[in-house]
């Protein structure tokens, strides 16, 4: 019975940590402009859980939030700009019937590359000490070098949003769980890359 109680307590502790992390992330995202720093902080927390068995949430979240504030804001602005350009190009393509089949493959390819790079952005940011260019460059190179993992991480990201649209109440835990899964996948890539080097 004590073993069962211990396992139940452990499961409840893990779930409460995911819930608390998710709630902290949601609150820090409320100004909208802080979505990128908040996401970097969330990934930083799950990194501590995975690599250092540190179950702290709020103190570690604020540490990573402050450390990555400037870089994540710059990358957020760049990513917002790229997303806007992509959106405008899709709009133009729809209106230009003759050019649709020429432009569509390029826009789809660029979109896929952007998504693949995005799943590595925050893990690379919190795992390595790099400047903005280094973060983007390494995220892109890793996404291209480990395509199966990139695809799996992108599917996790897609799954989070589908789950949220299907069951909106999952917003209180799905993003932290998704962040955990994505960092776990990226960390395997980091380990493999370091082994190859």
Residue 105: what pLDDT? 85
Residue 65 is part of which domain span? Answer: 2-196
DSSP for 1-67 reads -HHHHHHHHHHHHHHHHHHHHHHHHHHHHTTSTTHHHHHHHHHHHHHHHHHH-----HHHHHHHHHH
Mean pLDDT in residue range 163-180 = 92
Residue 4: what pLDDT? 62
Q: What is the pLDDT of the chain when averaged over all its residues?
A: 91
Q: What does pTM read for this prediction?
A: 0.91
Mean pLDDT in residue range 164-185 = 93
Residue 19: what pLDDT? 95
Burial, 45: exposed, middle or buried (Cβ in 10 Å; 0-12, 13-18, 19+)?
Answer: buried
Residue 3: what pLDDT? 58
Residue 1 has pLDDT above 80, yes or no: no
pLDDT digits (tens, 9 = 90+) for 53-100: 888 899 999 999 999 999 999 999 999 999 999 988 888 877 777 677
When divided into structural domains, the chain yields a total of 1
The string over 2-38, giving b where at least 16 C-beta atoms fall within 10 Å of a residue's C-beta and e elsewhere, is eeeeeeeeeeeeeeebbebbbebbeebbeeeebbbbb
- Angle value at C-alpha 165, between 159 and 167, nearest 5 degrees: 95
Residue 26: what pLDDT? 96
Residue 164 has pLDDT above 90, yes or no: no
């Amino acid at each position: 019975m004590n073993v069962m109680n211990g396992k139940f307590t452990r499961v409840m502790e893990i779930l409460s940590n995911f819930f608390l992390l998710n709630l902290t992330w949601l609150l820090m995202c409320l100004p909208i402009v802080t979505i990128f720093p908040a996401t970097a902080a969330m990934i930083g927390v799950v990194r501590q859980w995975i690599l250092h068995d540190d179950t702290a949430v709020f103190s570690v979240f604020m540490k990573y939030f402050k450390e990555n504030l400037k870089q994540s804001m710059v990358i957020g602005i760049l990513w917002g700009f790229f997303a806007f350009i992509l959106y405008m190009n899709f709009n133009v393509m729809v209106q230009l019937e003759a050019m649709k089949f020429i432009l569509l493959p390029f826009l789809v390819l660029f979109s896929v590359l952007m998504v693949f790079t995005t799943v590595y952005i925050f893990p690379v940011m919190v795992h390595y000490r790099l400047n903005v260019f280094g973060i983007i460059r390494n995220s892109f190179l890793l996404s291209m070098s480990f395509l199966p993992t990139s695809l799996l991480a992108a599917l996790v990201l897609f799954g989070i949003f589908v789950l949220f649209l299907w069951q909106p109440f999952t917003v209180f835990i799905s993003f932290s769980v998704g962040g955990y899964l994505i960092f776990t996948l990226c960390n395997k890539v980091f380990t493999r890359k370091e082994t190859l080097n």
